[in-house]
A = this chain, B = another copy of it.
Amino acid sequence: MGMSYLVYPGAHHTRFHHAVGCIYLMQKAIDTLRMKQVEINNKEEEALYIAILLHDIGHGPFSHALENVIVKNMNHEELSLRFMDLLNREFDGGLDLAIEIFKGVYHRKFMHQLISSQLDMDRLDYLKRDSFYSGVAEGNINSDRLISMLDVKDDQLLIDIKGIYSVEKFIVARRLMYWQVYLHKTSLAAEQILVKILKRAKEMIGDDISLKASKSLLYFLTTDVDAASFDNTALRMFSSLDDFDIISALKEWSNHPDLILSSLSNSIINRKLPKVIIQNKPFNDSYFKKISDEVAKSYSIDIEKVDYFVFQGAVKNQAYNAEDERINILDKNGKITDIVEASDDLSMSGLSRSITKYFICYPKLY
């Protein structure tokens, strides 16, 4: 959950716990589908467990916060695939089927949907788990009931119409978790600062200023790694990099003589978080410039460095996107329709609108 723990102090659960939870839900889903005469053989079952267990292994420290930062232009799915490929070589092709399912190239498409779709085991686990650990009760979903409503027709994963209200509740819960937790302005700001700290560290190392950090973190600070240059060394380094490396570095850097590095590090370590304003329309340029000027002046820093402290951005969320991936509902006559159509009111069409919010951050002292 990135830096959400700064807002919700219970949110310290780990990706390991999530991976175990996903396998558990996958077991339930397979049981349910088999009971409904969907044939899944033992090899497919094993592959589904492997795929869901490893689906997130490519996440680096602080999850999405540092995606595309530590490794340029590679998202966590591509990184997960690199790990699976390596393991597949070690296990002499034992992950072949899991990888096919993960990539979505296996001929039985519904299996990929169990791993990655609007109602995959990943979401069913993380929404419930994040709601539990953050204490945001409204995000709780009934994953047991949702799984018991799963079915497959024409190789499509779908939900029996009896479960339609649970699906709606799921979509609303998801939207709520996005705005209230995942995109909470405070954790958003903290995550931006994290990105800026790493940028500053790289810059300084480029200027031959030595910085204390773990071996793995130093590797990524000194080497520009992207999809093309991502080799086995990079993979090994990446695999040993986690939140501990980042936080330990920040703790050291918070005492560094460089004002930018130390004050940013300090703002995370000692919760001296910036002021964040969030609104439904973009901020105007003159307002942004005015703040930038004043911060540059009061911090006595160059105006081109002020974007370490004053910055803006946008976040977007669409609770349900039918164009991307539909949630299929199976009605009593065996017809398949999209949830928006099947739902008996208009709220679903509202939920499929994309919402954008704009934020601006600057130091509180100001």
Contacts and interface: CB of A to CB of B under 8 A. Distances in A.
A313 interface: no
Contact of A347 (B133, B166, B173, B348): B348
Contacts of A357: 344
Interface string A144-166: 01000000000000000000011
A297 interface: no
Interface stretch (A40-48, A197-205, A242-250): A242-250
Contacts of A12: 12-14
Interface range, A side: 35 or more
A176 B180 contact: no
Q: Indicate how many identical chains form the complex.
A: 4
A16 B9 contact: yes
A194 to B, nearest CB: 15
A357 B345 CA distance: 12
Interface in A73-124: none
Contact of A165 (B138, B145, B166, B280): B138
Interface of A: 9-10, 12-14, 16-17, 20, 133, 137-138, 140, 142, 145, 165-166, 168-169, 172-173, 175-176, 179-180, 214-215, 240, 244-245, 247-248, 251-252, 255, 280, 319, 344-351, 353, 355, 357
